[in-house]
Amino acid sequence: MPRWSLPQHDYWSTPFAESLLRHLDLFLGATVLDVAGGHGIPAFYVAEQVGSGGQVLSIDVSAGQVTRARSIQSSQLPWLRFECVDMRALPADLPAYDRIIGNLSVMFFRPNRFEVIQGLAAHLKPGGQMVLTFPSLGTFDSLWRRVDQEMATLGLLTERRRLEAYIAERPSAEEGREWLDGAGLHRIEVAEYPLEVATGPGQELLHHPLLRGGFLDDVFECFDDQLLAERVMKQVSEDLDGVLPLLAQRCVLAGWKPASRT
């Protein structure tokens, strides 16, 4: 077993990383740029695969995440670097890479997702591959339907419009294909892999680690009155039959930069 296997206790990043690796064509000595790398899933695994003849740069805008990744790394895999860099404003002197990857990255490309992908493609070597994953449109649809139903029952028109706008803002797999095509990539692959999330009712749902700190927080932002938000979400959380099955769509975008003509 590789020393840096994907951690099985991470029930969110690891399944998405597994989907990414299905489409990523790695080789010994490859140079890899990992964007929105967080604390190293799958940067550690990728660095081990490319070997000491390769180079992996994992960037994240969060200094805390970078510090955590460096702590995990210690003095191991010296050809892997973690740096605090905003992928939406890459340094002009950043070199080109054989592979560019981003696990759960597209969700952080807002507000100009296509422009970010264009910028990344500019740092991809001719003949290089880009692979990105994100939770695509359709993720947790059953939950959003149940929330909308509760809002409708209470006549919450403003909150329903905000929820609708939030859902519509989530990118689809087809949008992802258009981004890669527009950035000049070819041999494009787009795939979705459903991931079922298990949960219980009540507080277990409301404080589920895969829902809070992102998805549910965005729903709470649909309300000006947070006490009303708590009331609505409490009602939703106790109707588990109206929410399950709770499915995330793991979307993978993969494409290749055309090789230079000789």
Tell me what pLDDT residue 2 has: 58
Total residue length of the chain: 262
Amino acid in the structure at residue 226: Q
pTM for the structure as a whole? 0.93
Does residue 12 register a pLDDT over 60? Answer: yes
Does residue 213 register a pLDDT over 80? Answer: no
Tell me: do 224 and 209 sit in the same domain.
Answer: yes
Tell me: do 103 and 182 sit in the same domain.
Answer: yes
Contact present, 244 and 181 (Cβ < 8 Å): no
Tell me: do 65 and 183 sit in the same domain.
Answer: yes
pLDDT tens sequence across 90-128: 888 899 999 999 999 988 887 889 999 999 999 999 999
Residue 261 lies in a domain: no
Tell me: do 189 and 67 sit in the same domain.
Answer: yes
Number of domains in the chain: 2
Lowest mean pLDDT among 55-69, 82-96, 215-229: 82-96
Tell me: do 92 and 218 sit in the same domain.
Answer: no
Which CATH number do you get for residue 47?
A: 3.40.50.150
Q: What is the mean pLDDT of residues 156-183?
A: 95
Does residue 1 register a pLDDT over 50? Answer: no
Half-sphere exposure of 34 (CA within 13 A, CB side): 29
Tell me: do 226 and 185 sit in the same domain.
Answer: no
Which residue is associated with the tokens 């880009």? 130
Higher per-residue pLDDT: 215 or 99 = 99
Instruction: Mention every residue, 6+ apart, whose C-beta is less than 8 A from residue 33.
Output: 56, 57, 59, 94, 97, 99, 100, 101, 120, 123
Contact present, 36 and 16 (Cβ < 8 Å): no
pLDDT tens sequence across 67-80: 999 999 999 999 99
Contact present, 87 and 117 (Cβ < 8 Å): no
Q: What is the mean pLDDT of residues 197-211?
A: 93
- The alpha-helical segments, DSSP class H, found in the chain are 13-23, 43-50, 63-73, 113-121, 141-153, 157-169, 173-182, 203-206, 215-220, 226-237
Tell me: do 125 and 225 sit in the same domain.
Answer: no
Tell me: do 106 and 192 sit in the same domain.
Answer: yes
Tell me: do 233 and 158 sit in the same domain.
Answer: yes
Tell me: do 21 and 72 sit in the same domain.
Answer: yes
The percentage of the chain sitting over the pLDDT mark of 90, rounded to a whole number, equals: 84
The percentage of the chain sitting over the pLDDT mark of 70, rounded to a whole number, equals: 98
Residue 228 lies in a domain: yes
Residue 183 lies in a domain: yes
Q: What is the mean pLDDT of residues 143-150?
A: 97
Does residue 262 register a pLDDT over 60? Answer: no
Tell me: do 93 and 145 sit in the same domain.
Answer: no
Residue 44 confidence class, pLDDT cut points 50, 70, 90: very high
Q: What is the mean pLDDT of residues 23-37?
A: 97
Q: Which domain holds residue 111?
A: 13-135+171-196+249-256
Residue 4 lies in a domain: no
Tell me: do 93 and 30 sit in the same domain.
Answer: yes
Residue 5 lies in a domain: no
